[in-house]
């Protein structure tokens, strides 16, 4: 068994303290401030168990937002929101009627499952939109909303190109996945990554994850799953329009829209300067018109 | 069947019709603020032009303009503060200055405009312009403060368009430059309309001609901008929300036909006739004011509604055939998804 | 665990190994053969004995079995688990964050059958067997494939998670109202994964309406 030697120091089932640098034992990564961390979510390993959703809600003490049976396959959660920071999507791709697949596609068995989360974009539009500085970049290169500064203006909500962050009307602040900032500070990997039984959600240092993901795509192509590709890694769909890359990126096997993701999202703030400057130019022109009209037929003051 | 991204374009499939982005929490209060901010900001510009370039006959324009600017700032700021979901922390808006966020630099524009408009109005109403043309000390202070107020007034008239454009809502982000011109021209037109009515009620009706002319010029500009914006929406496939249903009617009939068509007709008739009609002038001004409000409401609602339509958002974020994006990664993704590889 | 060799995993058998020929210990041995479940939509195509002759049956008024191919109950019915709930649902349906994952009971119905009976996704349906009737919501899915049998006959299968009951945050009618009490001859394991049923759109007339439906 591939057990890290340090794990043998903690053989008991009940410990009276947190294991220092526990993430080294659970996911092979030591968490150090100053490095970039993120998620690689490999949907070909997802079994749709929703342990990530439950672990996240348990750790962050989030209430259930029971929407009732949605009829959308096994997805009764619906969407990411202020009280749902991990959301598992289910898409049945077995075909209809006579066209039903008779052979299971390699990986995912014609039933796509994907655990959606905040993408913690490298050039996060929510951060760039936030006027109070509440949303900031942590020492682990993740994006977090500081709850004691946010005044609930809600500008981050339409700014996000993935529809992740949401205002909670219960407490009047914006909420989204923190990549378990509090756990990272304690040397623990995020709750969802720890709970995931198949290691579909992999937490680690970003460059290492990009490497691992690239190799996984090649491996899948060789095994016959030629539809596999990365979403959100550098130079892939999702990492477009100035977003550079997503710290939480994915391995998908169908078009992004099927998973409710845009092919080529853009960095919203790239429109601020062109819009504002064009507006000012228009105002300059109108001011000249106003000047001409106000001075028309008037002598000198 | 090889379904790799580069061999198939989007066939319209969405995730059960679930929206892909979230609508803003902005409601009528923010739309009303944009309207009021535009009138206030542009009124300050008109007042400044009248003060610098006009004569004694334009005194009422200056007075009304400065009053409207102040009133706008005093109404606008509370509208925004109340709209915050944690309003007691409104001062955090000035905690940082972020150039990427129109809401951030806009807060400073609003604060600055409020400050300078207050000083201008205070100086104006506490001072006087004497018969011989000289001005008292307070009045001179007002006339100095009006310059930064006017510059910030230009900001007030258009930064809100940059604010809407810097989001991911399809209708708002589809035509950033056209929207800015649309908001700016609407601000100037509604300000001129308001001041024209002001001249009728408490000033010199002779001044209405030039204010109506300014309103007409701005309204014409707004019509052009709206047309350019509509073209952008059609090219990007997001014209649905502003063209159909009640919202489409509010926009096309309310904002454009009534809000721009009627005033242009009224002011054009007046401009071409020897005896301009008082009624047409007032009708034109009222139509502009109503239309400006309807335009803001329609654009706000359309943005939020388009955010709830995943097909609009996916059409917007599809790479376009024939487009040559600036970034290499965007070109690569465009090539892959359009089946060119 | 170290006492068990990896090559003897069948721990309920003395020598730990499985066998095709079981000389002793099996009430229905020594060789396996194909038996249809005690309730089946078809006659046994392989063997003249329809179903296991030594299966445990309890003859009771509320425990009748439909004869094979009974046209009153033409659909195959099965029950299964969901990942989100545990057994009878007591631990998971009473905890909000697990209850919201599957908040209501449902039965999965093939698209073709749903079209035939005019059932849309999330409609209420009534499922009936000789033991009783329940109502639940329909989840129409392509994952359930119709069985096309020799001779042009199509048999539809309906699947229902059996976690639900009426206490807790996530509720639904109880699937085991439909199953018969029959047991495996050797282990007495309840045969609750293969039976026949009928299906119709609609609801049951009830004096006490289910929670949340008032």
DSSP states of C58-96: ---TT---PPTT-TTS-EEEEEE--SSS-TTSHHHHTSH
Two tokens, residue B317:
């974020």
**Would B318 be classed as within a structural domain?**
no
Is B19 within 8 Å of chain A by CB?
A: yes
| Helices marked H in chain B | 28-53, 59-83, 102-126, 137-165, 170-174, 176-202, 208-236, 240-243, 245-249, 262-272, 278-307, 310-316, 328-337
Predicted pLDDT at B325 = 78
Reference C36, options C55, C53, C52; nearest CA is C52
Peptide bond into C30 cis (omega under 30): yes
> If you ran DSSP here, which 8-state letter would residue B256 be given?
I
Q: A126 CB contacts (<8 Å, ≥6 apart)?
A: A135, A143, A156, A159, A160, A164, A165, A174, A176
pTM value is 0.91
pLDDT for B29 beyond 60: yes
Asked if the C-beta of A50 comes within 8 angstroms of chain C's C-beta atoms, the answer is: yes
Do chains B and A meet with 3 or more Cβ pairs nearer than 8 Å? yes
If one counts the domains in chain A, the total is 1
Higher pLDDT, B134 or C182: C182
Q: Is A69 on the interface with C (CB under 8 A)?
A: yes
Residues whose CB falls within 8 Å of the CB of residue B29, separated by 6 or more in sequence, listed in order:
B79, B80, B82, B83
| In the predicted structure, residue B97 carries a pLDDT above the cut 50 | yes
Rg value, chain C, Cα: 20
Task: Name the stretches of chain A with pLDDT < 50.
Answer: 301
Does A160 map to a domain? Answer: yes
Question: Do C130 and C67 touch, CB atoms closer than 8 A?
Answer: no
Q: Which pLDDT score, from 0 to 100, does residue A31 have?
A: 96
The reply to whether residue A49 touches residue C145, judged by beta carbons under 8 angstroms, is no
Nearest by Cα to B316 from B103, B19, B16 = B19
* Distance in angstroms between the alpha carbons of the first and the last residue of chain C: 53
Judged by average pLDDT, the poorest of B19-33, B310-324, C42-56 is: B310-324
Express each pLDDT in C65-83 by its tens digit. 999 999 999 999 999 999 9
Note whether C touches B: 3 CB pairs or more under 8 A.
Answer: no
Report yes or no: A277 at the C interface, CB cutoff 8 Å. no
- Of C148, C170, C166, C165, nearest to C157 by C-alpha is C148
Domain for residue B334, yes or no?
no
Whether A246 is in a domain gets the answer yes
Nearest CA-CA partner of A105 in A257, A254, A290:
A254
Provide mean pLDDT across the span C157-179: 95
Q: Quick one: pLDDT at residue A301?
A: 46
Measure the CA–CA gap between C207 and C214, rounded to whole angstroms. Answer: 11
Q: Is B295 within a domain?
A: yes
* Structure confidence at residue B8 as a pLDDT band (50, 70, 90): low
Contact A94 C169 (CB under 8 A): no
> Are C83 and A49 inside 8 Å of each other by CB?
yes
For B74-96, write each residue's pLDDT tens digit: 999 999 999 999 999 999 999 99
The CATH-assigned architecture of domain C56-201 is Beta Barrel (2.40)
Q: What is the DSSP string of B30-70?
A: HHHHHHHHHHHHHHHHHHHHHHHH--GGGHHHHHHHHHHHH
Q: How confident is the model at residue B219 (pLDDT cuts 50, 70, 90)?
A: very high
Is the separation of the CB atoms in C211 and C168 below 8 Å? no
Residue B205's pLDDT band (boundaries 50, 70, 90)?
Answer: confident
Is pLDDT above 90 for B129?
A: no
* DSSP conformation letters of A243-270: ---BSEEEEESS-GGGGT--SS---GGG
pLDDT at B322 over 80: no
pLDDT of residue C31: 87
Q: What is the DSSP annotation of A29-71?
A: ----TTS-EEEEEEGGG-----HHHHHHHHHHTPPP-------
Q: Residue A88's beta-bridge partner residues?
A: A115
Rounded to whole angstroms, the Cα distance separating B188 from B42 reads 5
Residue A109: inside a domain, yes or no?
A: yes
Which pLDDT score, from 0 to 100, does residue B111 have?
Answer: 96
Is ipTM over 0.90? Answer: yes
**Total number of domains in chain B:** 1
- Show the domain range for A163: 35-92+104-265
**Distances B64 to B47, B123, B198, B260, C121 between C-alpha atoms, Å:** 8, 14, 7, 24, 63
Put simply, whether B196 touches A (Cβ < 8 Å) is no
Q: Is chain A touching chain C, with at least 3 CB–CB pairs below 8 Å?
A: yes
Tokens of A18: 């947190």
**Is the model more confident about B135 or about A31?**
A31
Name the residue facing A272 among B52, B53, B166 (closest C-beta).
B166
Strand C75-80 versus strand C195-201 pairing type: antiparallel
Read off the pLDDT of residues B139-196 as tens digits, 9 standing for 90 and up.
999 999 999 999 999 999 999 999 999 999 999 999 999 999 999 999 999 999 999 9
Bridge-based pairing of strands C106-110 and A229-231 is unpaired
The answer to whether residue A164 sits within a structural domain is yes
Residue A287 belongs to some domain of the structure: no
Contact between residue B273 and residue B211 where contact means Cβ atoms under 8 Å apart:
no
B82 touches chain A (CB under 8 A): no
Band (pLDDT 50/70/90 cuts) for residue B287 is very high
In a domain, A231, yes or no: yes
Q: Does residue B313 lie in a domain region?
A: no
The CATH number covering residue B41 comes to 1.20.1630.10
**What is the per-residue pLDDT for B119?**
95
- List the one residue out of C39, C67, C66, C42 whose CA is nearest residue C55: C39
Q: What mean pLDDT is predicted for residues C16-36?
A: 85
Give A274→chain C minimum CA distance, Å.
45
The confidence score (pLDDT) of residue B55 equals: 84
Phi then psi for residue C187, to 5 deg, are -105, -10
Contacts of A260 in chain B (CB under 8 A): 14-15, 18, 20, 310
The DSSP element (H or E) to which A211 belongs, if any, is: helix A206-222
Collapsed DSSP state (helix, strand, coil) of residue B194: helix
Tell me the chain B residues in contact with residue A158 when contact means C-beta distances shorter than 8 Å.
21-24, 167-169, 172, 303-304, 307
Check pLDDT > 50 for residue B6: no
Is B101 inside a domain boundary?
yes
Q: Where are the domains of chain C?
A: 56-201
Higher pLDDT, C1 or C187: C187
In tens, the pLDDT along A26-35 reads: 999 999 999 9
* 3-state class (DSSP) for residue B139: helix
pLDDT per residue over C174-191, tens digit each?
Answer: 999 999 999 999 989 999
Percentage, residues of chain C above pLDDT 90: 75
* Containing structural domain, residue B223: 20-308
Q: What is the mean pLDDT of residues C132-146?
A: 96
């Amino acid at each position: 068994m591939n057990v890290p030697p340090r794990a043998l120091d903690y053989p008991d089932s009940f410990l009276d303290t947190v294991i220092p640098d526990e993430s080294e034992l659970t996911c092979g990564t030591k968490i150090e401030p100053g490095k970039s961390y993120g998620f690689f979510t490999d949907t070909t390993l997802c079994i749709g168990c929703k342990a990530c959703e439950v672990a996240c809600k348990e750790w962050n003490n989030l209430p259930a937002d029971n929407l009732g049976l949605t009829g959308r396959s096994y997805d009764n959660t619906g969407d990411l929101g202020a009280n749902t920071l991990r959301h598992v999507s289910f898409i049945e791709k077995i075909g209809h009627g006579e066209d039903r697949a008779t052979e299971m596609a390699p990986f995912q068995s014609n039933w796509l499952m994907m655990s959606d989360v905040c993408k913690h974009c490298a050039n996060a539009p929510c951060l760039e939109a936030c006027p109070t500085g509440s949303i900031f970049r942590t020492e682990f290169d993740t994006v977090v909303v500081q709850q004691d500064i946010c005044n609930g203006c809600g500008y981050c909500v339409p700014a996000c190109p993935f529809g992740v962050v949401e205002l909670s009307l219960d407490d009047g602040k914006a909420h989204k996945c923190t990549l378990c900032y509090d756990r990272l500070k304690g040397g623990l990997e995020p709750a969802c990554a720890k709970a995931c039984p198949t290691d579909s959600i992999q937490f680690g240092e970003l460059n290492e994850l990009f490497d691992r993901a690239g190799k996984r795509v090649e491996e899948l192509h060789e095994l016959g799953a030629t539809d596999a590709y990365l979403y959100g890694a550098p130079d892939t769909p999702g990492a477009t329009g100035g977003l550079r890359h997503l710290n939480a990126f994915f391995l998908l096997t169908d078009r992004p829209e099927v998973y409710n993701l845009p092919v080529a999202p853009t960095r919203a703030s790239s429109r601020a300067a062109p819009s504002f400057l064009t507006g000012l130019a228009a105002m300059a022109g109108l001011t000249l018109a106003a000047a001409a009209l106000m001075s028309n037929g008037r002598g000198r003051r | 069947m090889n379904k790799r991204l580069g061999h198939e374009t989007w066939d319209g499939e969405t995730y059960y019709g679930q929206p892909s982005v979230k609508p803003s929490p902005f409601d009528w209060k923010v739309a009303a603020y944009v309207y009021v901010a535009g009138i206030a900001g542009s009124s300050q510009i008109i007042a400044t032009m009248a003060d610098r370039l006009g004569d004694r006959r334009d005194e009422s324009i200056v007075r009304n303009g400065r009053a409207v600017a102040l009133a706008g700032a005093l109404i606008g700021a509370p509208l925004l503060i109340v709209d915050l979901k944690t309003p007691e922390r409104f001062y955090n808006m000035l905690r940082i200055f972020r150039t990427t966020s129109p809401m951030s630099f806009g807060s400073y524009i609003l604060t600055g405009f409020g400050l300078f408009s207050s000083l201008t109005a205070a100086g104006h109403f506490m001072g006087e312009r004497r018969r011989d043309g000289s001005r008292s000390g307070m009045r001179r202070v007002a006339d100095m403060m009006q310059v930064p107020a006017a510059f910030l007034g230009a900001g007030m008239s258009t930064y809100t368009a940059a604010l809407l454009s810097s989001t991911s809502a399809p209708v708002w982000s589809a035509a950033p430059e056209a929207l800015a011109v649309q908001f700016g021209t609407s601000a100037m037109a509604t300000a001129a309309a308001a001041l024209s009515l002001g001249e009728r009620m408490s000033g010199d009706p002779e001044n209405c001609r030039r204010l109506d002319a300014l309103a007409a010029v701005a309204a014409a500009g707004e019509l052009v901008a709206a047309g350019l914006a509509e073209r952008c929406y059609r090219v990007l496939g997001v014209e649905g929300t502003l063209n159909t249903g009640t919202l489409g009617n509010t926009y096309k009939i309310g904002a454009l036909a009534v809000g721009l068509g009627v005033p242009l007709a009224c002011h054009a008739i007046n401009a071409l006739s020897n005896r301009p009609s008082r009624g047409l002038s007032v009708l034109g001004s009222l139509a502009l004011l109503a239309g400006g409000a309807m335009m803001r409401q329609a654009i706000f609602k359309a943005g939020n509604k388009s955010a709830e339509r995943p097909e609009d958002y996916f059409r917007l974020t599809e790479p376009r055939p024939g487009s040559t994006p600036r970034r290499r990664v965007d070109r690569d993704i465009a090539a892959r998804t359009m089946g060119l590889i | 665990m170290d006492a068990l060799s990896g090559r003897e995993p069948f721990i309920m058998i003395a020598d730990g190994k499985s066998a095709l020929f079981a000389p002793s210990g099996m009430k229905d041995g020594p060789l396996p053969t194909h038996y249809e479940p005690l309730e089946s939509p078809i006659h046994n195509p392989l063997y003249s004995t329809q179903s296991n002759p030594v299966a445990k049956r309890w003859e009771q008024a509320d425990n009748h079995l439909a004869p094979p191919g009974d046209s009153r109950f033409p659909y195959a019915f099965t029950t299964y688990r969901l990942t989100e709930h545990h057994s009878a649902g007591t631990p998971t349906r009473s905890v909000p964050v697990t209850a919201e994952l599957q908040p209501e009971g449902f039965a999965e119905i093939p698209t073709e059958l749903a079209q035939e009976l005019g059932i849309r996704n999330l409609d209420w349906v009534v499922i009936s067997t000789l033991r009783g009737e329940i109502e639940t919501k329909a989840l129409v899915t392509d994952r359930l494939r119709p069985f096309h049998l020799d001779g042009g006959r199509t048999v539809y299968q309906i699947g229902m998670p059996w976690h639900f009951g009426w206490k807790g945050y996530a509720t639904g009618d109880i699937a085991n109202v439909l199953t018969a009490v029959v047991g495996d001859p050797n282990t007495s394991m309840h045969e609750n994964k293969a039976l026949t049923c009928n299906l119709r759109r609609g609801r049951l007339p009830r004096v006490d309406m289910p929670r949340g439906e008032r």
